[in-house]
């Protein structure tokens, strides 16, 4: 008797791993900013909605490269209107960043954004693991129903 041949598991692509890691980081950033009722406030316009309806917006756009894509200091809660339709509302976001972190951090993020960083599959898998763990830990402190998406 011969066993049927199995298809080898397809190796995950770097782009898929990056998307999955971003999904977990986005959930963590939004959930971390939420209050005990699950409401998170947009850092640029102040709109308050359930964290699951908000987005994780980049201060320095992720299009500037991989060096700032996954930096927590660069990513905060934004509503869909501010993040997607109003280009991130850079003036308001800059004001928020300077008030929250100070001008030194804003300058450091700008410096980091000029650096080239090439992540590999293992790097994205490590980020996925880190932010899944952070989200799950946060979820446990907030309650069962609060963290499900």
Taking alpha carbons only, the member of 98, 11, 13, 23 closest to residue 59 is 98
pLDDT at 28: 97
Question: What is the share, in percent, of the chain residues with pLDDT greater than 70?
Answer: 89
- Record the tokens describing residue 95, joined without a space: 């004001």
Please tell me the distance from the alpha carbon of residue 88 to that of residue 79, in angstroms, as a whole number. Answer: 9
Question: What is the share, in percent, of the chain residues with pLDDT greater than 90?
Answer: 79
SS3 category, 68: helix
**135-148 pLDDT, tens per residue?**
999 988 876 555 55
What predicted TM-score, i.e. pTM, was given to this entire model?
Answer: 0.87
Taking alpha carbons only, the member of 103, 22, 21, 116 closest to residue 66 is 116
The residue count for the chain: 149
**98-107 pLDDT, tens per residue?**
999 999 999 9
Please tell me the distance from the alpha carbon of residue 115 to that of residue 112, in angstroms, as a whole number. Answer: 5
Mean pLDDT of 76-95: 95
């Amino acid at each position: 008797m011969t066993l049927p041949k199995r298809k080898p598991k397809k190796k995950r692509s770097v782009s898929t791993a990056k998307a999955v890691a971003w999904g977990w980081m986005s959930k963590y950033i939004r959930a971390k900013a939420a209050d005990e009722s699950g409401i998170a406030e947009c850092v640029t316009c102040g709109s308050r909605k359930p964290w699951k309806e908000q987005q994780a917006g980049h201060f320095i756009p992720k299009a500037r490269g991989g060096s700032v894509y996954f930096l927590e200091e660069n990513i905060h809660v934004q509503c869909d209107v501010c993040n997607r339709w109003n280009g991130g509302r850079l003036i308001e976001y800059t004001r928020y960043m300077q008030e929250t972190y100070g001008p030194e951090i804003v300058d450091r993020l700008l410096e980091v954004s000029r650096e080239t960083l090439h992540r590999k599959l293992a790097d994205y898998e490590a980020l996925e693991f880190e932010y899944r763990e952070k989200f799950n830990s946060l979820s446990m402190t907030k309650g069962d129903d609060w963290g499900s998406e």
